[in-house]
Structure 1
Amino acid sequence: MLQVIGAGMPRTGTASMKAALEQLGFGPCHHMYEVIQRPEQSRRWSRVLTDDPVDWEYLLEGYRSAVDWPSSYFWRDLAAAYPDAKVILTRRDPRRWYASCKNTIFEFNARAARGENIGRSSEHEEFRQAVLDVMFQTSFGATIADIPAEEPSIAGFERHNAAVIETVPADRLLIYEPGDGWEPLCDFLEVDAPADAPFPHLNEGQEMRRMLQEGARTGRFATPFDRRDDAGTATRELG
């Protein structure tokens, strides 16, 4: 049963929020990494735009929280399906957000659309074409084969954030920005902050670019959440 809904767009600290929520006991936390790395997740989410009604319990089976796309794209539906769940809107400076997206996920998807091998599974390719392309067009006014322009992307980013703030009741919503730390999150979720543990800080732009380059070279896509091998390198081969 979903207890926390992340409504923030990708590249707003969602990897760090995933790690924080899991550390606070709200895990497992769903993230785009799950869809990229797990063929079964890709297959499930490939029908989210065509199924009527959508079976959210099936899509998010086993997860107690969800952040990042694809789930945050459907924040309205999830907020209605889980009326007792709390909503967290992660956000950041719009131009810094765009620069981060351009150098990471926009480039990643454009290269994949050109057929480059960057650790794709056939199931994720189906998800990319059936769902992610639509999400890009409605959010940024461009397909995944192109790198969306700055101004339409920022407009979509700000439109998304405004809709969340205007729609979700204030007592159910936390607006969270990188650097806010444990206190506002733990107060909102009514849990104690971890003793002597710094707030997770994962997936900075430079690290994500390194992961994408490694995926292009080896066909493996490593994430901050993978278990590390004997050499200390986190790797996980895609299905």
Structure 2
Amino acid sequence: MMKVIGAGLPRTGTTSMKAALERLGFAPCYHMVEVMTHPGHVDHWLEASAGKIRTREDWDRVFEDGYQAEVDWPASHYWRELADAYPEAKVILTVRDPYKWYPSIRMLLSGQNRPAPSDELPEQVRQLLATMERMGPLLNQMGRAHFGPDWTFGAEMGDEEAVVAAFNRHVETVKQSIPAERLLVFDVREGWEPLCAFLGVDVPAGEPFPHLNDAESMRQAFERMKSGDMSGFPLDRPGG
């Protein structure tokens, strides 16, 4: 059953949050990596994008493999629907400095350094790219909800101030929509204490908070992927 709903946008420490939540016992935690490693999941998200996932029973089917938490797109895009479907779940809005977030989300969504589809690529890489291609309609729908009706996945992000404004609008929408006692606005740099206090669990003794999948690590992962090396992708080295 879903116990923790992530409402943060991509590149707000969502990979670190996945690792942290699983360490705290909220495992498994859904993340875009689940779509990459389970291509059949795309069907669920295309149904969601078409408005066919409406009830708690529908969402239970999406998360039927026992997921107790979710962060990152595509699941976090449906934070409002999930909060309604699972009223007992807590909501975490991951945030960061939006001006530092901008180059990171730009690199991710504009497709910088991502290899183009080619028969010369290894099969595993081609399968991953094919999965993301199938996700195209949903990725466009999610992006347009934030960045405007003309935005297309893989295209240039556009003006920094406009994208930062979209980030700030999202933060305010979540804060105004979820009761304060049910919501944690969280920067992963804050570490274990506020997260554990909110979730009512003990702080892991002697363990640093995970900081994973920084922008440079992602860039290097895409470079390795071009040559067929899938090691560390999409979860990369520590960095923030």
Instruction: Bin the TM-score by the shorter chain.
Output: 0.7 to 0.9
Deviation at 1:214, TM superposition (A): 1.6
Kindly tell me: are residues 145 and 225 of structure 1, through their superposed partners in 2, closer, same or farther at Cα, counting changes over 3 Å? closer
In the other structure, the counterpart of 2:25 is 25
**Which of 54, 68, 87 lines up with 2:72 in the alignment?**
68
What is the total number of aligned residue pairs between the two structures? Answer: 224
Q: For residues 160-191 of structure 1, what are the alpha-carbon distances to aligned partners after superposition, in whole Å with 9 as ceiling and x for unaligned?
A: 11000011000000010131010000000000
1:176-233 CA-to-partner distances (Å, cap 9, x unmatched) read 013101000000000001111110011111111111112222173733659xxxxxx9
Q: Tell whether 2:149 aligns with 1:145.
A: no
Instruction: Specify the SS of the correspondent of 2:88.
Output: coil
SS at match of 1:89: strand
Distance in 1, matches of 2:113 and 2:213, equals 20
CA distance in 1 between counterparts of 2:191 and 2:114 reads: 35
Which amino acid is the alignment partner of residue 193 of structure 1?
V
With over 3 angstroms needed to count, the CA separation of the structure-2 counterparts of 1:108 and 1:139, relative to structure 1, is same
Q: Unpaired runs of 5+ in structure 1?
A: 227-232, 234-239
Letter in 2 for 1:44: H
- AA in 2 matched with 1:56: W
Mapping of residues 1-239 of structure 1, within 5 Å:
1-54=1-54, 55-61=58-64, 62-103=66-107, 105-108=108-111, 111=114, 115=117, 119=126, 120-127=128-135, 129-141=136-148, 142-149=151-158, 150-218=160-228, 220=230, 222-223=232-233
RMSD, matched Cα: 2.2
Letter of the aligned partner of 1:57 in structure 2?
Answer: D
TM-score, with normalisation over the residues of structure 1?
0.86
What's the CA shift string for 1:34-93, capped at 9, x where partnerless?
112221122221221114343111112220000011111111000000000000000001
Aligned counterparts of 1:23 and 1:53: Cα–Cα separation in 2: 29
CA distance in 2, matches of 1:111, 1:208: 10
How far is the alpha carbon of 1:111 from its aligned partner? 4.7
* CA 1:35–1:85: 2 relative to 1, 3 Å: same
- Structure 1 distance, partners of 2:74, 2:114, is 19
Gaps of 5+ in 2: none
Partner Cα separation in structure 2 for residue 221 and residue 132 of structure 1: 25
CA contact (8 A) 1:215 1:222 kept: no
User: Which one-letter code corresponds to 2:60 in the other structure?
Assistant: E
Shift of 1:137: 1.6
Answer yes or no: is the 8 Å Cα contact 1:3–1:65 preserved in 2: yes
Q: Is the 8 A contact 2:113 2:223 kept in 1?
A: no
The answer to which of 52-61 and 189-198 deviates more is 52-61
Assess if the C-alpha contact under 8 Å between 1:7 and 1:88 holds in 2. yes
**1:229 equivalent in structure 2:** none
